[in-house]
């Protein structure tokens, strides 16, 4: 069977590599992080995925032992062994600025070893026009080869949700476009090995690039709308969840859940990738900017809501102890990128509050992280539940033993029964 190379072994690249390995394809997985590649060789990863009753660590071990997954830091080794290259290295954003050099460096390392007949398939989420305007010239410059004549280039966005990666690589429809028809055909064949659903053939890479961005930005807008609804219902003392349930009985309405903000890279970054292009064209993109602002401000507003109640019971954020239970960027995730819970933590600290947090899915040493829920809850004036982690036991009878009297619970997930919490003496706040 064929070999392929996958560049970037993160939340997308690793399970993608292992999915190909499950189909008998030998995968050279390339990542620049040496320490991480060593860990992978020892069957270790921070990523939480599972498939058919096996953890990603078990699948990783099996694939390496069968010789179907070869983690490496060497682009050269990978390209010497295959003519099909998939890129999953993303464009990180720091302080609102796109770190394009991270993605471009991966493309350069591919360009250096690119051969006649190779296919490069970009699956990273990128600003509109990146495949044609950035990837193509870098590959041509580094390799001295000509696109469409000597090598092939295509784009297919990645749509998986973390936690469902193995399943969705096989069942989520994907769209693909090439710089030319032959590139698209080759990319289609590569995708088809694992995708058993629909592969949509699009006319231009820009169609697929922009479609991906708007798929994510539309969720930003929808969540912002639900967050505004939650502000309204909070003032009116009506249950937002019930309103959403009722509204969604309309067959053409699909409101999303409000929360403490939008995390991860996918949704918040999508609009920023769009602005990267539209700012240059002086297009205002007012709706997308507004949605970003509403969702970015959520953690601040959550603290404001808590502060109002704290003040009512003669406490201040300053001198209060906050326990944040579950800090990943979304439910059942091990990813803290752009996590609204982590942003809330920073805002509390900036306001002079004291914070402990607990999340069994987040590995590694972090300041203020506690190893047990009891330690995090010890002496808490406020408990915040931003997300739902299935491996966190929510037992407020027990929690009561560790927290302050009249502790406030801010429950963004409706995990706790309000009446019961109040019976136990907690002050309950939900969204």
Ligand X SMILES: NC(=O)c1ccc[n+]([C@@H]2O[C@H](COP(=O)([O-])OP(=O)(O)OC[C@H]3O[C@@H](n4cnc5c(N)ncnc54)[C@H](O)[C@@H]3O)[C@@H](O)[C@H]2O)c1
Residue ranges that bind ligand X, judged by CB under 6 A: 7-13, 30-33, 88-90, 102, 105-106, 109, 124-125, 158, 160, 162, 265-266
CA gap 139, 109 in Å, rounded: 9
Minimum distance of ligand X from residue 270's CB (angstroms): 8
CA gap 240, 421 in Å, rounded: 19
Minimum distance of ligand X from residue 184's CB (angstroms): 20
Cβ proximity to ligand X: between 90 and 430 the closer is 90
Minimum distance of ligand X from residue 4's CB (angstroms): 14
Q: How would you label 265-274 residue by residue, b for 16+ Cβ within 10 Å and e otherwise?
A: bbbbbbbbbb
Cβ proximity to ligand X: between 163 and 326 the closer is 163
The strand ranges marked E within 73-217 are 84-87, 93-94, 97-98, 119-122, 152-155, 174-178, 199-201
Cβ atoms of 255 and 244 within 8 Å: the answer is: yes
| Residue whose token pair is 């010239």 | 137
| Residue whose token pair is 């798929």 | 215
CA gap 276, 268 in Å, rounded: 13
Cβ proximity to ligand X: between 71 and 430 the closer is 71
Cβ atoms of 114 and 79 within 8 Å: the answer is: yes
Minimum distance of ligand X from residue 280's CB (angstroms): 21
Tell me which residue has its CB nearest to ligand X.
Answer: 10
Provide the token pair at 182. 């032959």
Minimum distance of ligand X from residue 250's CB (angstroms): 29
Minimum distance of ligand X from residue 414's CB (angstroms): 25
CA gap 178, 201 in Å, rounded: 9
Cβ proximity to ligand X: between 125 and 356 the closer is 125
Cβ proximity to ligand X: between 102 and 415 the closer is 102
5 alpha carbon, distance to own chain's centre: 23
12 alpha carbon, distance to own chain's centre: 9
Cβ atoms of 385 and 326 within 8 Å: the answer is: yes
Cβ proximity to ligand X: between 163 and 299 the closer is 163
Minimum distance of ligand X from residue 102's CB (angstroms): 5
Minimum distance of ligand X from residue 86's CB (angstroms): 11
Cβ atoms of 51 and 14 within 8 Å: the answer is: no
Minimum distance of ligand X from residue 157's CB (angstroms): 7
Nearest Cα to Cα of residue 268 among 13, 48, 412, 96: 96
Cβ proximity to ligand X: between 216 and 227 the closer is 216
Cβ proximity to ligand X: between 73 and 297 the closer is 73
Cβ contacts of 295 within 8 Å, gap of 6 or more: 220, 223, 224, 227, 261, 262, 268
Beta-sheet pairing, 84-87 with 3-7: parallel
Cβ proximity to ligand X: between 109 and 227 the closer is 109
DSSP designation for 317: S
The strand ranges marked E within 249-289 are none
Measured from the Cβ of residue 32, the count of other Cβ atoms closer than 10 Å reads: 16
């Amino acid at each position: 069977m064929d070999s392929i190379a996958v560049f970037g072994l993160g939340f997308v690249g690793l399970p993608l590599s292992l999915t190909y390995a499950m189909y008998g394809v030998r995968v050279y997985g390339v990542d620049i992080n040496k320490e991480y590649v060593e860990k992978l060789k020892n069957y270790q990863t921070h990523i939480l995925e599972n498939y058919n009753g096996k953890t990603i660590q078990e699948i990783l071990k099996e694939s390496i032992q069968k010789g179907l997954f070869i983690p490496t830091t060497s682009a050269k080794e990978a390209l010497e062994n295959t003519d099909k290259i998939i890129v999953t290295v993303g464009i990180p954003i720091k302080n609102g600025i796109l770190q394009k050099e991270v993605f471009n460096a991966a493309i350069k390392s591919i360009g250096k070893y690119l051969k006649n007949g190779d296919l490069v398939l970009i699956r990273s989420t990128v600003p509109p026009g990146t495949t044609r305007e950035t990837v193509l010239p870098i590959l041509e410059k580094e390799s001295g080869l000509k696109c469409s004549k000597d090598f092939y280039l295509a784009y297919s966005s990645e749509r998986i949700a973390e936690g469902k990666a193995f399943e969705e690589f096989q069942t989520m429809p994907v769209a693909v476009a090439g710089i030319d028809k032959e590139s698209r055909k080759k990319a289609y064949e590569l995708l088809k090995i694992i995708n058993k659903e629909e592969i949509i053939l699009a006319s231009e890479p820009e169609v697929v690039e922009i479609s991906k961005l708007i798929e994510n930005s539309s969720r930003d807008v929808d969540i912002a709308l639900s967050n505004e609804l939650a502000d309204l219902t909070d003032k009116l003392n009506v249950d937002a969840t019930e309103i959403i349930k009722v509204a969604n009985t309309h067959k053409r309405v699909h409101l999303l859940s409000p929360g403490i903000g939008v995390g991860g890279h996918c949704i918040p970054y999508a609009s920023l990738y769009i602005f990267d292009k539209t700012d240059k064209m002086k297009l205002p993109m007012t709706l997308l900017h507004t949605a970003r602002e509403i969702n970015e401000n959520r953690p601040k507003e959550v603290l404001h809501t808590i502060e109002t109640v704290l003040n009512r019971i003669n406490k201040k954020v300053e001198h209060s102890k906050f326990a944040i239970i579950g800090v990943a960027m979304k439910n059942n995730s091990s990813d803290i990128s752009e996590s609204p819970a982590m942003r809330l933590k920073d805002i509390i600290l900036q306001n002079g509050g004291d914070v402990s947090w607990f999340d069994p899915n987040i590995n590694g040493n972090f300041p203020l992280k506690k190893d047990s829920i009891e330690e995090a809850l010890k002496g808490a004036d406020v408990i915040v539940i931003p997300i739902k982690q299935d491996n966190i036991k929510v037992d407020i009878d027990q929690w009561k033993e560790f927290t302050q009297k009249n502790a406030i619970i801010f429950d963004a997930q409706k995990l706790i029964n309000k009446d019961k919490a109040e019976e136990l003496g907690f002050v309950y706040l939900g969204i």
